[in-house]
Amino acid sequence: MSTTAVDEKLDHVLAFFAKLLCSGVLVGDRDADDFVRRDLMTHLRPEGMPVEWDSITWDVDTERGIVTLSANGAQRSAVFNNGQGCTIVPRGAAGVHFTPVPVTSTLPDPSTQDWPAGDRIPTYASPSGVDSAALDAALDLAMDDNRQPVPQGTRALLVVHHGQIVGERYAPGFGPESRHVSWSMGKSITAALIGLLVGDGALNIDDPAPVAEWRADDDPRADITIRHLLNMSSGLRFVRAQDDDQLDLGWTSGDDHMFIYYGGIDVFAHSVSRPSEFPPGTHWRYRNSDPLTLGKIVRQTVEARGEEYLTYPQRRLFDRIGMRRMVLEPDPWGNFVMSGFDWGTARDWARFGLLHLWDGVWKPTGERVLPEGWTEFVRTPAPADGEQGYGGQFWLNAGGRLSNVPRDAYWPAGAWGQVVVIVPSKGLVVVRLGHSTDTGDPFDAYMDATLSGIIAALGG
């Protein structure tokens, strides 16, 4: 391997972990050493890495809002901006290339309002048919790694049944106000923002994606619609090293899917610059190009109306459904990286789940937030996904991925086991946040068992 390749990988490793550490401390309110030990060290695998953790030093300057990681003569930093969380400082730049904007909720103190508008939990009579002891046992089991075949590291578990919180558990050091990194659950927020603009009449999902770079007559990308992007079926060539048998590209600019996290780049420009590989709608692939292109469409549509983009999600979505503590983090050019850089509490994610359970209507106010038919669309299998496991930026159980859970279940999902499972047939929303280091079959088995135990306790 060339020295240049090693230097690039080291540079990207330091940038990525500077960003994550900055967010963990200044957004998630975690102790730096604990966050490094319990979260970051499990991300950095020894195979092919240009550095080990015992060679990395870090400095967290909370007063200036700067986190710097150094190793082997290289150094990278991330900066905190209140309202926008943390962002990688591009190499050679003095700071970020956008003007931060305060993001504040206009809602009353949540302690003054009943759930779900606020955090005051009324005393409910136990619904008929609910076995409270069985529900407690299911939650106890889910939180106890000593009783799991593979430890899962669950930090928050919240059960909402017919709009009521019927179960809520947190690991030591975490609570209802704790923000957790939500990773790719932010893709589902992007879908909701597109839904808002569809409801406004500003977009139609079957129209060609309004991306100027694709408009040339001979450009095959001109046929990509917003629906294709929502269905992860754009056909853009977007390398994901771990899936494309190109592991040597890991931590380099050649891994398109991950480069957006560690490159300190304009993620929207990078995504729309990728060429076509397949005709749109013919291949389903999980790639960050599609949600980030949707993010670009959101930004340009909002700004064309003269609105402030950085406050748009809070104003138009979160405040309408009681979500006060979400933090969406941008790239150095002020583009939200909602394919992975987003932080939220279990209760705020439960509210997002309830909005979808209630078919886009926020029941406490009776306001339709998402357009009629939107939730049906996002939980309908993408035509190109033969396994029926993905819809419109939501994962689905239509193909039976969780064998003991109803087929109508669907969920936002993020790395290391972040999920908000919505089960319309059961009137159920279950939020699980944490840090599972093995999120393949063991995590699916864990969620299948946890959800089936909860459903059984709630009366089947």
Whole-angstrom Cα distance, residue 361 to residue 80? Answer: 34
| Alpha-carbon gap, residue 69 to 257, rounded angstroms | 23
Report cis status (omega within 30 of 0) of the bond before 332: no
The predicted structure's pLDDT at residue 45: 61
Q: Residue 234 is encoded by which pair of tokens?
A: 């754009």
Distance CA 351, CA 318 (A): 9
Q: Sheet holding 180-181: strands in order across?
A: 180-181, 342-344, 327-328
Distance between CA 215 and CA 217 in Å, rounded? 6
Look at the block and give the residue holding tokens 């050493």. Answer: 33
Nearest Cα residue to 378 out of 272, 279, 237, 232: 232
Structure tokens given for 443: 């995590």
Residue with tokens 């919180």: 165
Q: For the chain, give the secondary structure using H, E and C.
A: CCHHHHHHHHHHHHHHHHHHHHHHHHCCCCCHHHHHHHCHHHCCCCCCCCCCHHHCEEEEECCCCEEEEEECCEEEEEEEECCCEEEECCCCCCCCCCCCCCCCCCCCCHHHCECCCCCECCCCCCCCCCCHHHHHHHHHHHHCHHHCCCCCCEEEEEEEECCEEEEEEECCCCCCCCCEECHHHHHHHHHHHHHHHHHCCCCCCCCECCCHHHCCCCCHHHHCEHHHHHCCCCCECCCCCCCCCCHHHCCCCCCHHHHHHHCCCCHHHHHHCCCECCCCCCCCCCCCHHHHHHHHHHHHHHHHCCCCCCCHHHHHCHHHHCCCCCEECECCCCCECCCCCEEECHHHHHHHHHHHHCCCEECCCCEECCCCCHHHHHCCCCCCCCCCCECCCCEECCCCCCCCCCCCCEECEECCCEEEEEEHHHCEEEEEEECCCCCCHHHHHHHHHHHHHHHHHCCC
Within the chain, which residues score under 70 in pLDDT? 1-6, 44-48, 125
Q: How many angstroms separate the first and last alpha carbons of the chain?
A: 57
* pLDDT score for 47: 57
How many CA atoms, within 13 angstroms, populate the side-chain half-sphere of residue 424? 15
Q: How far apart are CA 311 and CA 106, in angstroms?
A: 12
Provide the pLDDT for residue 1: 44
Q: What does the domain layout of the chain look like in residue ranges?
A: 3-88, 110-183+339-457, 211-225+234-304
Q: State pLDDT tens for residues 50-70.
A: 888 889 999 999 999 999 999
CA distance 293 to 230: 10
CATH number, domain 110-183+339-457: 3.40.710.10
The encoded tokens of residue 21 equal 């550490």
Q: Angle at the Cα of 280 (from 279 to 285), degrees rounded to 5?
A: 100
Q: What is the pLDDT of residue 5?
A: 64
Cα 119 from chain centre = 22
| Residues facing residue 414 across a β-bridge | 418
Q: Cβ of 303: how many Cβ atoms within 10 Å? A: 12
- Sole residue written with tokens 């009324």: 122
Q: Quote the pLDDT of residue 287.
A: 97
Nearest Cα residue to 330 out of 106, 76, 103, 9: 103
What is the gyration radius of the CA atoms in the chain, in angstroms?
21
Angstrom CA distances, 422 to 76, 180, 447, 450, stand at 40, 19, 13, 14
What is the reported pLDDT for 4? 63
